[in-house]
Amino acid sequence: MTAEPRSVNSRAWERYGSHRLRAGTTARPIPDTIAWGFGSAGPGTAVLGPLTGRRVLELGCGTGRYAAHLACHHHAHVTGVESSPAQYERAVAAYGAVPNLTLVRADAVDYLQQAGPFDVIISVHGALCFTPPALLLPGVFQALRPGGLLAASVLHTNYLGEGPLQVVAPSPQRLQVTGHAPDTVYRWVLTPDLWRQLLAEHGLIVTAIDRIDATAENDPTSCRLIRATHGRRDQR
C-alpha cells in the first residue's frame, strides 16, 4: 500500500512540473509571506519566530518560492528539498541565485537521514502530506534539533468538502494542471487528533493547530497548520 501512492505522486509531480516548464518558467518575485492555506495565507511567516541566522529546511519546496522568501526576507540559512527533477529545475531557474538558499534534488525521506540539525523544518503542502508518515517522521525527528520547530500545512477538507480520515491512510486528491486534465495525487488527509498522536509517537509535541479556510464563497476547502516542537527522546 505504501509504495504505490509514493510512485503515483512522483509521476504526477513530475508531469506537473514538466507541463509548467514547457509553459515557460518565468522568474517571479519572491513572495512577501508564506501562504499556509489554499487562497488564504493564514498566520504567515510570523509563526516561525525569529529566523535570522537560523537553519531552516523546507520539505517538498516545489518552485522554491517560500524557501527563497525565508532566505531573502528573513536572512535564514535555508535548504529546500524537492524530489521531482522538473520541479527542482523550476526552482533553480527561478531562485537558484538567491543568497543563503541551497536547493537539493532528493526525496525528503532520504535527505533527512543525512542532514541537520535544523532549527526549523517546514512543509507547505509539501512532503509531509505526500509521504507515508511512518517513513518521513523518524527523519524529521532526527534532523530537527532538540526544541526545534516543525510547521506543516496539510489539507483538512478538499474542494468537495470531503473530510479527513481517522486512520493513517492516503486518499486520492485532484491535482489541477492549467490547460490539462486534472491529475491524481495521494495525500495523507488526517484528523487533527490523528496528526497529534502520530507526531507524538515520533517525539514531536504539537503546540498549535490553526484552521485556515478558503476565502472564496462556497469553497469548503480547509487546511490546518500544525506546529510541533522536538521533544526529548524520553518523551517518545
Ligand X SMILES: C[S@@+](CC[C@H](N)C(=O)[O-])C[C@H]1O[C@@H](n2cnc3c(N)ncnc32)[C@H](O)[C@@H]1O
Site for ligand X in 79-108 (CB under 6 A): 81-84, 87, 107-108
How deeply is 198 buried, as exposed, middle or buried, from its count of CB atoms within 10 A (0-12, 13-18, 19+)? middle
The yes or no reply on residue 130 touching ligand X (CB under 6 A) is: yes
Quick one: which segment of 46-54, 78-86, 163-171, 215-223 binds ligand X (CB under 6 A)? Answer: 78-86
Q: How far does CA 19 lie from the centroid of its chain?
A: 21
Taking the CA of residue 187 as centre, how many other CA atoms within 13 Å lie in the half-sphere pointing to its CB?
24
Residue of 48, 57, 61, 98 that binds ligand X (CB under 6 A): 61
The yes or no reply on residue 20 touching ligand X (CB under 6 A) is: no
Residue of 20, 54, 55, 65 that binds ligand X (CB under 6 A): 65
Q: How far does CA 69 lie from the centroid of its chain?
A: 15
The yes or no reply on residue 133 touching ligand X (CB under 6 A) is: no
Q: Which is nearer to ligand X, 54 or 90 (CB)?
A: 90
Distance CA 135, CA 143 (A): 13
In this structure, are strands 171-175 and 183-187 parallel, antiparallel, or unpaired?
antiparallel
Site for ligand X in 174-213 (CB under 6 A): none
Residue of 5, 37, 42, 62 that binds ligand X (CB under 6 A): 62
Query: ∠ at Cα 5 (189, 125), nearest 5°?
Result: 40
The site for ligand X (CB under 6 A) is made up of: 9, 13, 60-63, 65-66, 81-84, 87, 107-109, 124-127, 130-131
